[in-house]
Amino acid sequence: MSGQIDDLKKISDADPVGISAVDKIQDFYPAIVYTYDVKRQKIKFINQKVSDLLGYSIKDANGLPDSLLNIVYQDDATLVQAALEKFCALTEGKSHAFDARLNHKEGSWRYFRTTGNVIKRDAEGAPEVVLCIAQEVTDEMKGQEEVRATRALIEGTESLLQFGSWRWDVNSWDIVATDGLLRLLGYSEADKVSLNGNIYLSHVIEEQREKFKEVILRAIADNSEFEFEYILRTRDGAQKVVSSKGKVITDTTGRALHILGITRDVTQVKGFEKERDRNIRELNRSNRDLEEFAYIASHDLQEPLRKISTFGERLKTQYGSSFDKDASLYLNRILVSTENMRMLIDSLLEFSRMTRSSRAYVPCDLNSVLQDVGSDQELKIEETHTTIVRESLPTIDAVPLEMRQLFNNLVSNSLKFRRKDVAPIIRITGSVLNDADKMKYGIALDRKFYRVEFSDNGIGFEQEYAEKIFQIFQRLHGKAEYPGAGIGLSICKKIVDNHEGIIYATSDGNGSTFSILLPQKQYF
């Protein structure tokens, strides 16, 4: 644009009036052309483009007080004022350019790049008139703003997620890297480091340097992607575990040009993983110890309990007739307590075996399992006049014996907690779990899960106890009314947990519903 300024200046200098020649060719320029009177601080002349680009008539532009600054966007007024002062300081043959926003008459604004030169000076050489050409660059400036915003977003993201991006030239081995990668290597902006493949490899610890180089060269040879985890030594000697992932970019002939990639700092992640693994190992060890203790303790308690029961029965048989009423009551209480203790120990052993048992998952038809449970519970179902309504159930990967015990316990629970003088009805349904429910229960959307529900019309429970009923030895009712060890639902939960599933219960006071969420496939 400085060339255009020079051309206009030559025409202006050749014209005796100084402005009329410019006025004759004004509309041939695709920009706003104007002259600025320095002493009066007004636009002296402006071409028709001011109307085309900003909506002002020539009369509008010339009629504004301090006319130039009145059409400058408010936030850029100081910048334009400084530019005008630079114009005044220009020596002969020199020009100055600046970018600023100018107001449109309708209230919006546009970016203009203005180039100016002094075309008239007074007798003392002081500037009198400045000739300016303002060319619209709105699209260019907005594009630059978008680039700056995108760059800031990338830099912020890299800083937050601790990674850097890079482009590795396969011929020169020069690396164009973002600030994120330089930060990973321990460099600051002030270092102005020029990165290349050899410098980068020097940051890889010696034990892994050749392996990483081999990965890079193999990817280039095969035009393939790669991912590699290794240790970087930063500029100050600190070590970081990083993961690099790259893709070879080729030309139209398939020749490798460069590698695009990212390098991510996974030091903290690896630390978390190690801590998690350590906690899991410790938890597993603790669980094994507890399970072993429960098994041994329960097993060792059986023998003294058998002796108490045996000698109590002999005492009752041989000497029961000679006991008075209080002695008989005491002995009966001993025998009942012994039986309760035996039941608790048997239940604890069963729970321990459930935890300790090894599992072989096979395709398991839950319809067949339910049919076997019907046979197991046949007499109890007939005695209680229970009606079982069932739908088709799915086939899943499971341990058949555990599924049978799960269904047996749930049917037994419904039969036990039935209403007096009301024939029990048990409804068993199966359906595919939808995505909304998967999200609700934290299940991966790409895994197929089924929901199996056991609903009854029994006595139900208060919803506040929905979690407590699955705890071992927890009871909501007295033993006299509803006998049992209080472990059946605990075993149900253990079985469902073993199958990577979820079990929960709901009740509105008119029966209970036990919902089981089980995966179609087990990954093992």
Strand ranges of the sheet holding 502-507, from the earlier edge strand across to the other edge: 387-390, 425-432, 449-456, 512-519, 502-507
* Cα gap 311→327, rounded to integer Å: 15
CATH number assigned to the domain comprising residue 320: 1.10.287
pLDDT for residue 119 is more than 90: no
- What are the tens digits of pLDDT across the range 300-341? 777 777 888 888 888 888 887 888 888 888 888 888 778 777
Cα–Cα distances (Å) from 382 to 174, 379, 387, 424, in that order, read: 84, 5, 9, 11
Based on the fold, state whether residues 341 and 486 are members of the same structural domain: no
Give, as one character, the DSSP assignment of residue 477.
S
Q: Sorting pLDDT into bands at 50, 70 and 90, what band is 17?
A: very low
**Cβ atoms of residues 72 and 54 within 8 Å:** no
Q: What is the predicted pLDDT for the residue at 44?
A: 81
Distance, first Cα to last Cα, the chain:
72
Residue 215 binned pLDDT confidence (cut-offs 50, 70, 90): very high
Domain tally for the chain?
A: 4
* Whether residue 352 sits in one domain with residue 326: yes
SS3 state at 188: coil
Residues 500 and 365 in one domain: yes
According to the model, what pLDDT value does residue 294 have?
66
pLDDT score of 36:
84
The span from the CA of 491 to the CA of 398, in Å, is: 16
Dist. CA 472–CA 117, nearest whole Å: 92
- Rounded to whole angstroms, the Cα distance separating 157 from 164 reads 9
Is residue 11 predicted with pLDDT exceeding 50? no
Residue 227 lies in a domain: yes
Question: Does 386 map to a domain?
Answer: yes
Residue type at position 334: I
Question: Please, are residues 127 and 88 in contact by the beta-carbon 8 Å criterion?
Answer: yes
Reported confidence tier of residue 220, pLDDT bands at 50, 70, 90: very high
User: Do 515 and 391 belong to one domain?
Assistant: yes
Last residue of a domain, one of 313, 337, 356: 356
146 part of a folded domain: no
**Sheet strands (E) in 278-424:** 362-365, 387-390, 395-398
Q: Which token pair is 10?
A: 């030559």
Q: What is the pLDDT of residues 151-210, one digit of tens each?
A: 777 777 777 777 788 899 999 999 988 888 888 898 887 777 788 999 999 999 999 999
Q: Residue 168 in 3-state DSSP?
A: strand
CATH number for position 382? 3.30.565.10
Could you read off the pLDDT of 466-521 as tens digits, one per residue? 888 887 766 655 454 555 556 788 889 988 988 899 999 998 878 899 999 999 99
pLDDT, mean of residues 116-130:
85
Q: State the pLDDT confidence band at 18, using cuts at 50, 70 and 90.
A: very low
Three-state DSSP state, 127: strand
Q: Are residues 443 and 491 in the same domain?
A: yes
Same-domain status, 370 and 513: yes
**Maximum pairwise Cα distance, the chain:** 149
- pLDDT, mean over the chain: 82
Confidence tier at 298 by pLDDT (50, 70, 90): low
284-293 tens-digit pLDDT: 777 777 667 6
Residue the block writes with tokens 């410019």: 22
- Judged against a pLDDT cut of 90, whether residue 30 lies above it is answered with no
φ, ψ (nearest 5 deg) of residue 523: -100, 110
Residue 145 located in a structural domain: no
Residue ranges making up the domain that contains 187? 152-265
Higher local confidence (pLDDT), 28 or 238: 238
**253 pLDDT exceeds 80?**
yes
The mean pLDDT of 47-65, rounded to a whole number, is 77
Last residue of a domain, one of 301, 334, 356: 356
Distance, CA of 206 to chain centre: 35
26 or 513, greater pLDDT:
513
Alpha helix positions (H), 38-190: 49-54, 58-63, 67-70, 77-88, 138-161, 179-184
Per-residue pLDDT tens digits for 74-88:
899 889 888 888 887
Instruction: Say if 242 falls within a structural domain.
Output: yes
Tell me how far CA of residue 336 lies from CA of 98, 313, 347, 390, 479, in angstroms: 101, 11, 17, 39, 12
Q: Tell me whether residue 524 is in a domain.
A: no
Q: Based on the fold, state whether residues 292 and 420 are members of the same structural domain.
A: no
β-strand pairing of 449-456 with 512-519: antiparallel
Cα-only R_g, the chain: 43
Same domain, residue pair 501 and 411: yes
Helix 366-376 to helix 400-416 angle (10° resolution) is 50
Give the tens place of pLDDT for each residue, 406-433. Answer: 998 899 888 888 888 888 999 999 999 9
Among 326, 356, 386, give the residue marking a domain's end. 356
The answer to whether residues 310 and 456 belong to one domain is no
Contact criterion met (CB below 8 Å) for 342 and 309 = yes
Domain of residue 78, CATH code: 3.30.450.20
pLDDT value for 393: 94
Per residue, the 3-state secondary structure of 206-217, as one string, reads HHHHHHHHHHHH
Task: For residue 141, tell me if it sits in a domain.
Answer: no
Residue 436 resides in a domain: yes
**Residues 374, 514 within the same domain:** yes
